[in-house]
Chain A
């Protein structure tokens, strides 16, 4: 490391340390000012929620002076009012997932003054989170997401009691954690947790505000509302009523693979907070009539940005909330439902034979030793990935293009990307991100029978990830 960059790194560390210290001091100060000296600093050690703090009304008014000031703008709304504010103050809301949805959701819930805000997440803050997970920050990289988000929310509103559950939600702990709250927000990112949270909410009769986002699309639905017992027709549908079968694991894209635009997931998290605030502030309905369930679709790319869809009610034969459901809290805790098995696991692709694959280092050596070596290197990643960085000379034909019919190359004709001048026995190497799609593409090319039957068609094992590891450490792999 050069002296200058070493010094810069040192300074960065010092600044981060000083900022963390400053945050702690500010927190202490605001707690002193609001009269909450023992703030939940070390709640991560014990996950018990204290009884909702009794509303300490020293005088004749139900809220404290500072609370009237803090919540003035929402107190004057008919949908909140003083009754709604008191309900918010005595409510315990659980946010499962402290990521792109959970950060804005928790922030607005804290701002609105919910009494207890539970946060569940087992992950730590990474730099790739920061473009969308707005409560975390550069100086918090490596910190528990739950601690980071709790710190943010307490800083925003020290009156909110944040309870830190620094663990992923599991069948073993779900019942105990969910039971302590009135409303649950599903801010997670995988089908397994979505089914688990829904089942726990059905069993414990909690309304569930569920949202998800990917690329430029988002979805929002309020489930199990009203939260009637299993088998009751008065309850709203659960996640399983809407999606009885999980999607095949190959069809599930994460934000890491598919990408996500920050404001898209932000919008969905803010909407979750809104639905939760509405649910709590409104209080129990005068007549327990189920509102018609609806699914809100948000699309930043489409013509109609927001679209509300009428949904079905409870499914009488639902596995979780149906009339003959055998799901119980004990069964859930004992692992009767295998969520991982139910949702399936993506198995690694093993299509090519070992002799049809070469390592990134071997490919690099081969090209270096034989300048002008006649071959084609086909990069089947998306255009965006290819544009960020690629191996010199690679031709980009995205995998999805490969799946399109009529792209040429069928029945021995030459596809557009294959140079006419290339000898018919010149090898073709396929590369992708991590080495799965490249196998499928290579096999497909073999079946297309381009060129001579002696042509080698294979792939680079491990894709660009391996290229970064074995050949070019500076490669911007994402």
Chain B
């Protein structure tokens, strides 16, 4: 499990979250399915950290792959990826606007088509 921190930002309050990837998305994140992260509780403008913020944070800090377009298209999550917040579809929780709470489990699942 990787604990990743932003260098030189000790003043920013952090919160622990577990981010998981499945359905092949883990390939974009160092082939690691489960990441225990410590993310800022608020954006640089002082707004609460939302799922949209987390997606951007993951692209900047956690993704080691350059194929960002397999995760984000036109500033939004690419079609065919489900976001599950504490085992519920994010559409039940407010989608990108959901404000992340300390200890949340956020799962990104790519849809599969094989059979």
Contact = CB atoms under 8 A, between A and B. Distances in A.
B33 A243 contact: no
A474 to B, nearest CB: 29
A430 interface: no
Interface string B8-28: 000000000000101110010
B115 A100 contact: yes
Interface in A305-335: 307-312
B114 interface: yes
Contacts of A299: 22, 33
Contact of B88 (A187, A255, A260, A310): A310
Given A214-B24, A247-B80, A405-B64, A191 B113 contact: yes
B79 A255 contact: no
A406 B64 CA distance: 8
B6 interface: no
Interface stretch (B37-45, B47-55, B104-112): B104-112
A98 B64 CA distance: 39
B82 interface: yes
B86 to A, nearest CB: 10
A243 B23 contact: no
A189 B94 CA distance: 31
Contact of A217 (B69, B70, B112): B112
A53 interface: no
Interface in B36-84: 64-67, 69-70, 73, 78-82, 84
A404 B115 contact: no
Contact of B115 (A189, A250, A301): A189
A405 B66 contact: yes
B4 interface: no
Contact of B113 (A194, A248, A268): A194
Given A212-B113, A219-B112, A404-B66, A258 B24 contact: yes
A320 B81 CA distance: 20
B114 A302 contact: no
A217 B27 CA distance: 13
A251 B80 contact: yes
Contacts of A85: none
Given A295-B82, A302-B33, A405-B66, A312 B24 contact: no
A251 B70 contact: yes
A400 interface: yes
Contact of B89 (A99, A245, A258, A312): A312
Contact of A301 (B33, B73, B109): B33
A403 B27 CA distance: 10
Contacts of B27: 400
A218 B92 CA distance: 23
A295 B90 CA distance: 13
Contact of B114 (A251, A265, A307): A265
B66 A309 contact: no
Given A245-B79, A403-B66, A188 B89 contact: no
Contacts of A214: 23-24, 112-114
A357 interface: no
5 contacts: A214-B112, A243-B79, A247-B110, A299-B22, A302-B22
Interface of A: 97, 99-102, 186-191, 194, 211-215, 217-219, 242-248, 250-255, 258, 260, 265, 268, 295, 297, 299, 301-303, 307-312, 400, 403-406
Given A309-B107, A310-B92, 9 more contacts: A212-B113, A213-B112, A217-B112, A254-B114, A297-B22, A400-B65, A403-B66, A404-B66, A405-B65
Pairs A-B, 9 closest by C-beta atoms = A247-B80, A245-B79, A214-B114, A212-B112, A255-B114, A189-B115, A101-B115, A312-B91, A310-B88
Interface of B: 20, 22-24, 27, 30, 33-34, 64-67, 69-70, 73, 78-82, 84, 87-89, 91-92, 107, 109-115
